[in-house]
Copies of this chain bind each other. A is one copy, B any other.
Amino acid sequence: MATTATDRSATDPSGTLTRFETHPSQYRHWQLDVEGDVATLRMSVDPEGGLRPGYELKLNSYDLGVDIELADAVQRLRFEHPEVRAVVLTGSLDRVFCAGANILMLRTSAHAFKVNFCKFTNETRLGIEDASENSNKRFLAALNGTASGGGYELALAADRIVLVDDRNSAVSFPEVPLLGVLPGTGGLTRITDKRKVRRDRCDVFSAIAEGIKGKRAVEWDLVDRVVPLSKWDETVQEEARALADTVPARKAKGIELPPLVCEQRADALIYQYVELRWSQSERVAHLTIKAPDTCPKDAAGALAEGAKWWWFQAFRELDAALLHLRFDLRDIALVLVRAVGNAATVRTTDELAAGETQWFVNEVRHFVKRTLKRMDLTAKSFFAVIDDGTAFTGSFLELALAGDRTYLLDDPGHAIEIGITVANAGMFPMSNGISRLETRFLGAPEQVATILSEMRQVPASEAAELGLATFAPDEIDWEDELRLAIEERASFSPDALTGMEANLRFAGPETMETKIFGRLSAWQNWIFQRPNAAGEKGALVCYGTPTRPEFSVERT
């Protein structure tokens, strides 16, 4: 297997953490320009700017570093540029919009990195769709050249796709014919379920390495419009203008997103509201989120604090911690989640956020939603630990509900409460479209109604009766029970746990999003393990080399 050699592969507290934070002034691969209510995000990948050595990012192909910038840009457009109504995604190269994920990078990456890379890029594309749905912005993919593989998948995340008609430029999925893998960044799901291309045409399209261009690309609904090269610039402008005009104008002034401050130790990341500590030998991490004692009481107060608003900053820190868990702490099996601090602050904030239409609070609410989804989709076991000093209330309680189990100390000697707020009543739908409480009580919807009927702090014993705890030991059993559960979890096959959690976490309905992460990603992960793709003679390994791939011809 041509893997791992050049890839930082395991929990390496002395190593450098993946850097997820960036800023437009530091971008190496994108140019972000905002003019009035139209932003242009131009892909301009620096071939020498790969996140690690060993590959060149030719033809606007991307690696994690490129996608981190894209995710940053979309985020900043939401927070720093609320006035923007249309975002043009386009490229700066001649004849090529984007060649997709870099093949040499994929080939030389460890399986675990590859899977997490794909997950992150999927989240970025879903983030674009989330911005369209919830952030007063529409996205235009202005394909100024060929969009192949991940390049076309990026376009599929946009609301509208226009393709230049220069007799050459096409959209394509060359993965199956050339690489022996799938268009796994949502491609095979979005062509059938979002663009609703006829399935036999999807089959044909996915088999033509050079892609489809011109009139047929429109007829087959692969793009919305083709535009002659001579009219390209003016048409893109017109299209962007028209798209912007479908959205109400917004005069708001944005807030700045400063970098997070993090103290990095050998076995901990310490943010202001979030702490992540780990023990490599035990393969366990402790993730703690803390609510402060004071907070703004209304949306204007929240906006005045901007990125310093505790709720926003706490979830930004949580988001960062989750990403480091995925990419930099791969050996960690289990994360023990605690919420501490002032529960009243969480309640006040949840109530502030509920139904608030002010743009900033709306943005933060959707950011919290995306962070919680990131947690649902993280391939680590999460056990919520609810003991002394707990503040699992409302939006913090969602972290416990996102976890695989909750351990609740139920003992008369300890005054422990769980708090129900409006945040648990559908403010943060999961990828499956329903709330974490609804998912938990799929078989007992009346239980959801009971729990939500009084939005208050609930004592431990009552919370246990309401079904909010997996286990509720008393003080005598508490430590042993938790210790055994932790040791046991760390002893299981990491792969079996990943597969199990991917199934159990998403009971009930399915959406395009769950199809992407459940169905498409699982098949892609399978294929990434198969010798026909990743073996010495596999297509992914041989592509671009003089060696022709050789397949084991068995259909499975």
Are the CB atoms of A193 and B283 closer together than 8 Å? no
Are the CB atoms of A496 and B182 closer together than 8 Å? yes
Are the CB atoms of B507 and A192 closer together than 8 Å? yes
Distance between Cα atoms of A195 and B505 in the complex (Å): 15
Are the CB atoms of A507 and B196 closer together than 8 Å? yes
Indicate if A175 sits at the interface (CB-CB under 8 A). Answer: yes
Indicate if A555 sits at the interface (CB-CB under 8 A). Answer: yes
User: Which of B10, B115, B404 makes the CB contact (< 8 A) with A200?
Assistant: B404
User: Which of B203, B499, B509, B554 makes the CB contact (< 8 A) with A9?
Assistant: B554
Distance between Cα atoms of A492 and B489 in the complex (Å): 40
Indicate if A349 sits at the interface (CB-CB under 8 A). Answer: no
Are the CB atoms of A443 and B196 closer together than 8 Å? yes
Question: For A357, what are the chain B residues with a Cβ–Cβ distance below 8 Å?
Answer: none
Are the CB atoms of B556 and A495 closer together than 8 Å? yes
Are the CB atoms of A495 and B532 closer together than 8 Å? yes
Are the CB atoms of B493 and A520 closer together than 8 Å? no
Question: For A202, what are the chain B residues with a Cβ–Cβ distance below 8 Å?
Answer: 504
Question: For A380, what are the chain B residues with a Cβ–Cβ distance below 8 Å?
Answer: 555
Question: Which of A9, A444, A554 has most B Cβ within 10 Å?
Answer: A554
Question: Which of A182, A195, A496 has most B Cβ within 10 Å?
Answer: A496
Are the CB atoms of B203 and A500 closer together than 8 Å? yes
Are the CB atoms of A526 and B443 closer together than 8 Å? no
Question: For A439, what are the chain B residues with a Cβ–Cβ distance below 8 Å?
Answer: 199
Give the residue name and chain of the B residue nearest to A188 (CB).
B503
Are the CB atoms of B520 and A555 closer together than 8 Å? no
Are the CB atoms of A504 and B331 closer together than 8 Å? no
Indicate if A228 sits at the interface (CB-CB under 8 A). Answer: no
Are the CB atoms of B494 and A532 closer together than 8 Å? yes
Are the CB atoms of A503 and B176 closer together than 8 Å? no
Are the CB atoms of B499 and A553 closer together than 8 Å? no
Question: For A527, what are the chain B residues with a Cβ–Cβ distance below 8 Å?
Answer: 493, 495-496, 499
User: Which of B116, B332, B489, B555 makes the CB contact (< 8 A) with A112?
Assistant: B555
A510-554: contact bitstring with B at CB < 8 Å (1 yes, 0 no)?
A: 100011001110111111011011000011000000000101111
Q: How many residues of A contact B (CB 8 A)?
A: 97
Within 8 A of B (CB), among A200-243: 200-204, 206-207, 221
Indicate if A442 sits at the interface (CB-CB under 8 A). Answer: yes
Are the CB atoms of B533 and A493 closer together than 8 Å? yes
A9-37: contact bitstring with B at CB < 8 Å (1 yes, 0 no)?
A: 11000000000000000000000000000
Given A10-B554, A188-B503: A470 and B176 interface contact (C-beta under 8 Å): no
Question: Which of A333, A499, A524 has most B Cβ within 10 Å?
Answer: A499
Are the CB atoms of B200 and A440 closer together than 8 Å? yes
Indicate if A70 sits at the interface (CB-CB under 8 A). Answer: no
Indicate if A441 sits at the interface (CB-CB under 8 A). Answer: yes
Are the CB atoms of B502 and A523 closer together than 8 Å? yes
Are the CB atoms of B198 and A533 closer together than 8 Å? no
Measured CB to CB, the closest approach of chain B to A192, in angstroms, equals 4
Indicate if A197 sits at the interface (CB-CB under 8 A). Answer: yes
Measured CB to CB, the closest approach of chain B to A178, in angstroms, equals 10
Are the CB atoms of A556 and B333 closer together than 8 Å? no
Distance between Cα atoms of A496 and B552 in the complex (Å): 12
Are the CB atoms of A500 and B206 closer together than 8 Å? yes
Given A494-B532, A499-B182, A503-B189: A556 and B198 interface contact (C-beta under 8 Å): no
Question: For A116, what are the chain B residues with a Cβ–Cβ distance below 8 Å?
Answer: 556
Indicate if A406 sits at the interface (CB-CB under 8 A). Answer: yes
Are the CB atoms of B198 and A440 closer together than 8 Å? yes
Are the CB atoms of B508 and A203 closer together than 8 Å? no
Are the CB atoms of B111 and A201 closer together than 8 Å? no
Indicate if A497 sits at the interface (CB-CB under 8 A). Answer: yes
User: Which of B403, B506, B538, B556 makes the CB contact (< 8 A) with A525?
Assistant: B556
Indicate if A379 sits at the interface (CB-CB under 8 A). Answer: yes
Give the residue name and chain of the B residue nearest to A329 (CB).
B555
Distance between Cα atoms of A283 and B551 in the complex (Å): 13
A sample of 20 cross-chain residue pairs with beta-carbon separation below 8 angstroms, ordered by A number, consists of: A111-B556, A112-B554, A176-B492, A191-B504, A197-B443, A203-B500, A207-B489, A207-B492, A330-B554, A333-B555, A493-B530, A494-B551, A495-B533, A495-B556, A499-B523, A499-B526, A502-B523, A510-B514, A518-B518, A525-B556
Given contacts A180-B492, A203-B500, 20 further A-B contacts (CB under 8 A): A112-B554, A176-B500, A180-B496, A182-B496, A188-B500, A192-B503, A193-B442, A200-B470, A203-B470, A221-B443, A283-B553, A331-B553, A331-B554, A493-B539, A494-B552, A494-B555, A494-B556, A496-B533, A499-B526, A522-B525
Using CB atoms and an 8 Å cutoff, list the residues of chain A in contact with chain B: 9-10, 110-112, 115-116, 175-177, 179-182, 188-189, 191-193, 195-204, 206-207, 221, 283, 330-333, 379-380, 403-406, 439-444, 467, 470-471, 488-489, 492-510, 514-515, 518-520, 522-527, 529-530, 532-533, 538-539, 549, 551-556
Q: Rank and list the top 6 A-B pairs by shortest CB-CB distance, nearest first.
A: A196-B443, A180-B493, A522-B522, A510-B510, A192-B507, A499-B523
